Structure 1
Amino acid sequence: MKKKRNTVFDCSIIDISKVHTISGNITVVENDKNIPFAVKRIYYLYDVPGGELRGGHAHYELEQFIVAASGSFDVIINDGTNRKRVSLNRPNLALHVVPGLWRELDNFSSGSICLVLASHIYEESDYIRDYNSFLDFAKR
């Protein structure tokens, strides 16, 4: 049986909620509670120069929660047929990116921080870094 390919429509914005107190806000992310996978790796992007593009790859298996911890940026997801641009600018909202999609990040505001929670540790073999190879993969 052929496995269903993910599309950009399988990605969604998830409100990971915030607790507001007089001394500020807190947002909590807990494995298998408000995130649909166990987090195996966390990294963040910052000091991205204006006009720079980040990402530019797809993953065979890895899922991600992408959060604008500070500032704003756009995530462009692509399934080989459809493209979708999502603007992130609130630290209590995460974009859930499913496997098998090309992703690029751009339009970083000054001082922005992109927080990424990933379902797998870094494995080079999980990356598709060439766009034409991705398009071949997406056609299968």
Structure 2
Amino acid sequence: MGYVNDVNVLQFKQNGDQRGHLVVVEGNKDIPFSIARIFYIYGSDREVVRGCHANRRSEFVLINVSGTSKVKVMDGKAEKVIVLDKPHMGVYLPEMVWKEMYDFSEDSVLLCIASEVYDPSEYIRDYAEYLKEIGMKDE
């Protein structure tokens, strides 16, 4: 099981010159897993909350490559909010951490890098069920 304390902010090396910036993110090097899936979220506004789930097997790194957003993570005991506001920073989310992404700026593009291909059976989409599964709530 993952814990909020296992959630880490990552800083990626910025390469660049007068032509602009370049950030490289490599699996098993800059992030702690092999990359199996990449997707991104855009067009959400400040009132929208995305995520609202935990994953039994998938690990994630989230990077706001444009604009800003916030990520709230919970593990049944602790809670943390990370502000993603630089394209060279990300947040590592281990498996079995509840995640909610919100407060998207108008120009937000949230890049999501996952350790697993999509499998709906590994998603826990109900917080009460999540608490039960991690042993924080009686059946």
Q: Please classify the TM superposition score into its range, dividing by the shorter chain length.
A: over 0.9
1:96: which partner in 2? 92
Please tell me whether the aligned partners of residues 4 and 73 of structure 2 are also in contact (alpha carbons under 8 angstroms): yes
Per the TM alignment, residue 20 of structure 1 is displaced from its structure 2 partner at its CA by 2.0
Per the TM alignment, residue 32 of structure 1 is displaced from its structure 2 partner at its CA by 1.1
Structural RMSD (CA): 1.0
Given the alignment, which residue of 104, 110, 121 partners 1:108?
104
4+ long deviations beyond 2 Å = none
Given the alignment, which residue of 31, 41, 47 partners 2:27?
31
In the alignment, does 2:40 pair up with 1:41?
no
Count of aligned pairs between the two proteins: 136
Q: In the TM superposition, what whole-angstrom CA distance separates every residue of 1:48-91 from its partner, at most 9, and x where no partner exists?
A: 02311000000011000000110000000000111111100001
What residue identity is the alignment partner of 1:64? F
Distance 2:126 2:111 in 1: 24
Please tell me whether the aligned partners of residues 76 and 84 of structure 1 are also in contact (alpha carbons under 8 angstroms): yes
Q: Secondary structure at the match of 1:139?
A: coil
Fraction of identical pairs, as percent: 32
Structure 2 stretches lacking a partner, 5+ long: none
Given the alignment, which residue of 40, 45, 49 partners 1:53?
49
Per the TM alignment, residue 101 of structure 1 is displaced from its structure 2 partner at its CA by 0.6
Distance 2:77 2:132 in 1: 12
Distance 1:16 1:60 in 2: 27
Structure 1 stretches lacking a partner, 5+ long: none
